[in-house]
Amino acid sequence: MRPGGTVLIAPDDLRDGGTDPRGPDSFGGFVARAARAGRLVVQPRMGFSDPARMRTGLAATRSAAAVTVGTLTIDSYTRVGDHAAARTAVAEGARLNGYPITAHSAERTRAVLDGIAGPAFPVQVRHGSSRPAAIVRALAAAGLHATEGGPVSYCLPYGRTPLAESVENWARACELLAELVPAPALPHLESFGGCMLGQLCPPGLLVALSLLEALFFTRHGIRSVSLSFAQQTDPAQDAEAVRALHRLAAEFLPPDTDRHVVLYTYMGVYPRTERGATLLLEASARLAVEAGAQRLIVKTAAEAHRIPTVRENLRALETAAVAADLAARARPRAPIVPDPAEDGGGDNAVYHEARAFVEAVLDLGDDLGRALRTAFARGVLDVPFCLHPDNAGRSRSFLDSAGRLRWAETGGMPIPPDTAPDGAPTPLTSDGLLAALYSVATRYDTPAPGGRILSAAPSPS
């Protein structure tokens, strides 16, 4: 029992891997055991530069009335590889926007984790780096074995690192993680591919990128992966995307790969009211349960204003857990993971679009890293509104009248653009772009009569 009297999973159920080949000390194994018990794992984005405050945050996350995993979110200096600046900041006692894992000694980080992290409370390192080798070495030295990112998703949106360089960096990082984490722990990598610029990218491309990055991880020695997707503008389309991820993972990843799907609470412009933010968080928890995601990365009601406190993170975790439990009780016979062979198991429009992207990339050659570089060079993969030099920049998206994300322009991608009812291309104006960016925040901040959420915003013109 956790504080508040909520009975979740007995501690022994989480600590004991039994005959699970992942072993008891496994990030993926923990999530799998929670899923078998019908529970959604919830996780914050939390990261503090001060070790004592970081330890307090992890302890609070573990004690939440929810099934949780912990997070060490890394600071910006470490993320971009400026480790000297991170060390200087630590020496001067400056407050950073995350935990500088390469600036703190392995002994210091182990002290942060001691008595908190373990089989019943795995901790993941989240960072955003296209040069992750030093971070991987530091997390492994501290006894951790789970992180996230990817050669595309931690390159294109965040800087100007050449894609070819990021691909090489991430190949080495995967191999380092597999090499440095000792048995019985199983190294785990989560693709961020389903989240990059996710608020304005139609989900077929995001699903394909997440699958391709997970496949890249497996080809470089990682046997435990998670595939991500960020909540977007339409719940039905979002559910299709999560189910498509499950189906594609079953079809393309090696059969012995330990895998699960992680959903992110909406990552675009966030509601400014506490009520709107809470309603959006609850909607993401329901979506995770109903679509079959096994882990949820939450956001807090403070996201639109500032970095959240530990208490605000705790409230978000428990709010999401309650919403997930209510959704699960409303669907007692539904498995937490959809069966691709059953109705609703992933055979949908998002799946078919994502599969077209995946097959187009795999047709470019057996070396997946090289195929990814070629795909972006030719515009076969093209992220809308992404300004990175290696992105073709010929694709554009729009919101239709039902709130679904669609393609206005597809450039060289292997799919056609969506058209207006008269068959003409759908224009996207600057006003339309702003309306799309703010559509979710506006909808959740504006209650309809009776307290309902307003329907999706009409298609921008």
SS (H, E, C) the chain: CECCCECCCCHHHHHCCCCCCCCCCEHHHHHHHHHHCCCCEEECCCCCCCHHHHHHHHHHHHHCCCEECEEEECCHHHHCCCHHHHHHHHHHCCCCCCCCCCCCCHHHHHHHHCCCCECCECEEEECCCCCCHHHHHHHHHCCCCEEEECCCCCCCCCCCCCHHHHHHHHHHHHHHHHHHCCCCCECEEEECCCCCCCCCCCHHHHHHHHHHHHHHHHHCCCCEEEEEEECCCCHHHHHHHHHHHHHHHHHHCCCCCEEEEEEECCCCCCCCCHHHHHHHHHHHHHHHHHHCCCEEECCCCCCCCCCCCHHHHHHHHHHHHHHHHHHHHHCCCCCCCCCCCCCCCCCCHHHHHHHHHHHHHHCCCCCHHHHHHHHHHHCCCCCCCCCCCCCCCCCEEEECCCCCEEEEECCCCCCCCCECCCCCECCCCHHHHHHHHHHHHHHHHCECHHHCECCCCCCCC
pTM exceeds cut of 0.85: yes
Q: Tell me the β-bridge partners of 227.
A: 261
Q: Identify the pLDDT of residue 17.
A: 44
Preceding amide of 184 cis, omega within 30: yes
Domain boundaries, the chain: 11-330
Q: Identify the pLDDT of residue 360.
A: 98
The C-alpha angle with vertex 234 and arms to 243 and 283, in degrees rounded to 5, equals: 80
Are residues 382 and 390 in contact, defined by beta-carbon separation less than 8 angstroms? no
Q: Which residue has the tokens 């309650």?
A: 322
Q: In the chain, which residues have pLDDT < 70?
A: 1-24, 198, 332-346, 420-427, 447-461
Distance separating alpha carbons of residues 72 and 101, to the nearest angstrom: 9
Distance separating alpha carbons of residues 116 and 113, to the nearest angstrom: 5
Are residues 44 and 313 in contact, defined by beta-carbon separation less than 8 angstroms? yes
Q: Identify the pLDDT of residue 8.
A: 43
Cα–chain center distance at 3: 27
Regarding beta strands 41-43 and 295-297, do their DSSP bridges make them parallel or antiparallel, or are they unpaired? parallel
Are residues 205 and 383 in contact, defined by beta-carbon separation less than 8 angstroms? yes
pLDDT tens, position by position, 259-279:
999 999 999 889 999 999 999
42: number of Cβ within 10 Å: 28
Distance separating alpha carbons of residues 55 and 231, to the nearest angstrom: 29
Q: Identify the pLDDT of residue 304.
A: 73
Distance separating alpha carbons of residues 393 and 387, to the nearest angstrom: 7
95: number of Cβ within 10 Å: 10
In CATH terms, the fold of domain 11-330 is: TIM Barrel (3.20.20)
Distance separating alpha carbons of residues 222 and 250, to the nearest angstrom: 16
Q: Tell me the β-bridge partners of 305.
A: none
Distance separating alpha carbons of residues 49 and 51, to the nearest angstrom: 6
Mention every residue, 6+ apart, whose C-beta is less than 8 A from residue 3: 63, 64, 65
Mention every residue, 6+ apart, whose C-beta is less than 8 A from residue 263: 228, 229, 230, 231, 242, 284, 287, 288, 291, 293, 295, 296, 297
Distance separating alpha carbons of residues 403 and 270, to the nearest angstrom: 16
Are residues 362 and 253 in contact, defined by beta-carbon separation less than 8 angstroms? no
The C-alpha angle with vertex 90 and arms to 87 and 93, in degrees rounded to 5, equals: 150
